[in-house]
Structure 1
Amino acid sequence: MSEALRPSDRAQSVVAFGGGHGLAASLGALRLLVHDLEVDDLTAVVTVADNGGSSGRLRTEFGVLPPGDLRMALAALCGDHQWGDTWARVLQHRFAGQGEIRGHTIGNLLIVGLWEQLGDPVAALDWVGRLLGTSGRVLPMALTPIDITAQVRGVDPADPDALTAVRGQVEVATTDGIITSIALEPADPAPCPEAIDAVHAADWVVLGPGSWFTSVIPHLMVPALREAIVTSDARVVVTLNLEEQAGETPGFGAADHLAVLAEHAPDLRVHTVLADTESARDGLEELRSLARALGAELVLADVARGDGTPRHDPVKLAAAYSSIMGGR
């Protein structure tokens, strides 16, 4: 990072990690900063562990990366204009009917078709991005499909304290037990070189929001990617979820999310923890203490939609990111 120019004096490079709706929320906010010229280089690095729905079917049939979370990230980066809105809707369109195509989305089929045509997952995603006119680049976190495994407590009624191994993203996300830890299979997957390069060139790395055990933490379980994150000069922002998630994080408050992240990646240096003011109200002192122990600044901001759903508002979240990254 250049010493001659402070990060707050120029447009900056950001890499956002996650998957599904959580990553789409952060990308929707960061895209606004690209539009406002506060961010000039935005990269999304996406989990590739989905084994359900259309993605799971395509993964099994064609032996490809599950395309669903990649598709959602591309759609989130489409612009707020007729071209972007139209292509985002087309990409997300899910077929009905009763035939074999039922449940598939156009975007998933487009991505897999390009993978078959080009034989290069990164090049194919770049071509989709050009077609959509996205405000950033979308990359997979690894070049081979991954399975998430979890140690879960409370699954066996006869022995509530026993740990049970659960395999598969869908199965982990919907478990009736309490997740104590996760791992990846394979444990050392081939990382996406472009993702590694993006992290090393970044000013900021954004982790979360999203499904904590199946979309956020898995990035830190890929050894080469984790090494890139912890050795990069990029400042890490952890964006906490607004509430617990059934199956993955029942009973979790804001501090619990941060604690399990630290348990899985104790060498991660965090610059800023961003939490919604209302969501963090209960257990605030615990959260503040934990953030301090990690050497991080805790930033509280109103970033929720406020419509009764546990979703981040892109405009409010963009304002919070702008304040953090601008040092104001």
Structure 2
Amino acid sequence: MSQAAQGDALDLRVVALGGGHGLSASLAALRHVVKDLTAVVTVADNGGSSGRLRREFGVLPPGDLRQALSALCGDDDWGRTWARVLQHRFASDGEMDNHAVGNLLIVTLWQLLGDHVGALDWVGRLLGAQGRVLPMAVTPLDIVAQVRGADPADRDALTTVRGQVQVASTDGQVTEVHLEPADPPACVEAIAAIHDADWVVLGPGSWFTSVIPHLLLPELRRALVGSTARKVVTLNLEPQAGETDGFSPETHLEVLAEHAPDLRLDVVLADQGSVVDHDQLEAVARSLGARLVVADLAVGDGTPRHDPVKLADAYAGFLGQA
């Protein structure tokens, strides 16, 4: 059991931004550390079950929202069972193949209630979720990237790649991303949560498709920059094939700053096994206003995954500091 889980949860309001497996790892850790936890989730997925439901019904892609809700389930029988139900995928030769039960449940409640946030709150209550899950925007988004090297005939040429799945799996090097539409309506409750937060946690996760998109939504970015909340960026354990090939930890920070030069940070959290040049990473973090915290965060089985217990201990070590 983590040190954080052994003690009382911190009386703090924390908002975690991201999507997919990276956000799930952060939430699984933070729910043991703080009393008031809100996830603000990307809504740009265009693949798999989420993409199919998005195209068929015109809804927000539910997959990343489902994963966040699952990560907030408790460790008792109720929580573990509902987490499994939510993540279960059908396997068949028909149209239901690969649909996740949680995606269907979320879309059902959206249709019945006509309320994105209210429906997610209902799912959270059913699961006994230890926190709240909100979409970053209330309309589906597309991620559009400029990619260098994707054209085999001209490796120096820039190519436009559209769609979260396509950007995440590109053979080239992503140089810049933007959203379409460029200024969609943000989730009002997400903006309010950021304004009221004591801490905002950004990352880990797919850098260009799960982390940076929060900084590209104008209303959300203004809220982040204007919020008095302290801000921490949790770095990935290694570069991601396609999106961030060849990126060092400090390159991740530099790219973040390029997309949001007015965002100041308080803490940069990095895994000790991922840091090659400590002094350089510390210098880049300091240039963004942050102090560098390095800890053992990996699961230790050779895969680039954060251990929720180790991550909880790392968060507990600085979130409660004045």
Question: Per the shorter chain, which TM-score range?
Answer: over 0.9
| SS in structure 2 at match of 1:246 | coil
Match of residue 100 from structure 1: 95
Match of 1:317 in 2: 311
Instruction: Report the Cα distance in structure 1 between the residues aligned to 2:69 and 2:152, rounded to whole angstroms.
Output: 42
Give a deviation string over 1:253-303, Cα, whole Å, max 9, x none. 1111111001111000100000001111x1222211101111110000111
The counterpart of 1:287, out of the listed 281, 290, 299, is 281
Segments of 4+ moved more than 4 angstroms: none
1:176 corresponds in structure 2 to: 171
CA RMSD of aligned residues (A): 1.1
For the residues of structure 2 that align with 1:97 and 1:289, how far apart are their CA atoms?
52
Pick from 45, 48, 56 the counterpart of residue 43 of structure 2: 48
Q: Partner amino acid for 2:248? A: G
Q: Is the partner of 1:266 in helix, strand or coil?
A: coil
- Counterpart residue number, 1:18: 18
Output the CA distance in 2 between the equivalents of 1:134 and 1:313: 20
Task: Measure, in 2, the Cα distance between the counterparts of 1:40 and 1:196.
Answer: 19
Cα deviations across residues 181-223 of structure 1 (Å, max 9, x unaligned)? Answer: 0000000011000000000000000000000000000000000
Deviation at 1:84, TM superposition (A): 0.2
Other-structure match for 1:110:
105
Kindly state the Cα deviation for residue 75 of structure 1 after the two structures are TM-superposed: 0.2
Name the aligned partner's letter for residue 18 of structure 1: G
Structure 2 residue 158 is the aligned partner of structure 1 residue 163: yes
Amino acid at match of 1:81: D
Residue by residue, what CA displacement relative to the aligned partner does 1:117-141 show, whole Å, maximum 9, x if unpaired?
0000100000000000000000000
Aligned residue type for 2:298: A
2:204 is aligned, of 184, 195, 209, to: 209
The answer on 1:197 being equivalent to 2:192 is: yes
Who is 1:4 aligned against?
A: none
Amino acid corresponding to residue 20 of structure 1 in structure 2: G
Output the CA distance in 2 between the equivalents of 1:40 and 1:55.
30
Establish whether residue 307 from structure 1 lines up as the match of residue 264 from structure 2. Answer: no
**Residue type matched to 1:79 in 2?**
G
Question: 1: CA distance between counterparts of 2:132 and 2:146?
Answer: 34
Confirm or deny that 1:78 pairs with 2:82: no
Q: 2:242 aligns with which of 247, 256, 262?
A: 247
Aligned partners of 2:308, 2:43: CA distance in 1, in Å?
24
Q: Secondary structure at the match of 2:139?
A: coil
Query: Equivalent residue of 1:200, what SS?
Result: helix
**Cα separation, 2, equivalents of 1:157 and 1:170:** 20
| Identity over aligned pairs, percent | 71
- Out of 290, 295, 304, which is 1:296 matched to? 290
CA deviation digits over 1:22-44, x for unaligned, max 9? 000000000111xxxxx221000
Which residue is equivalent to 2:149? 154
1:129 to 113, 120, 124: 124
Q: Can you list the C-alpha shifts for 1:77-105, whole angstroms capped at 9, x where unaligned? A: 00000000000000000000111111101
- What aligned pairs does 1:21-36 form with structure 2 within 5 A after superposition? 21-33=21-33
Counterpart amino acid of residue 305 in structure 1: V
TM-score (norm 2): 0.96
How many Å separate the matches in 2 of 1:107 and 1:24?
A: 15
Instruction: Give the 3-state SS of the residue equivalent to 2:261 in structure 1.
Output: coil
Q: Distance in 2 between matches of 1:51 and 1:172?
A: 11
**How far apart, in 2, do the equivalents of 1:304 and 1:254 lie?**
15
TM (normalized to structure 1)? 0.94
Match of 1:60 in 2: 55
SS in 1 for 2:161: strand
Name the CA distance, whole Å, in 1 between partners of 2:294 and 2:195. 28
Number of residue pairs the alignment of both structures matches: 314
In the TM superposition, residue 10 of structure 1 has moved relative to its aligned partner by: 5.9
Amino acid at match of 1:289: A
- 1:277 matched to 2:272? The reply is yes
Question: What code does the residue aligned with 2:227 have?
Answer: S
For residues 308 and 10 of structure 2, the distance between their equivalents in structure 1, rounded to whole angstroms, comes to: 22
1:158 Cα shift?
2.6
Q: Secondary structure at the match of 2:212?
A: helix
Equivalent-residue separation in structure 2 for 1:88 and 1:101 (angstroms): 20
Match of 2:257 among 256, 262, 266: 262
- Give, as a single letter, the amino acid of the residue that structure 1 aligns with 2:36: D
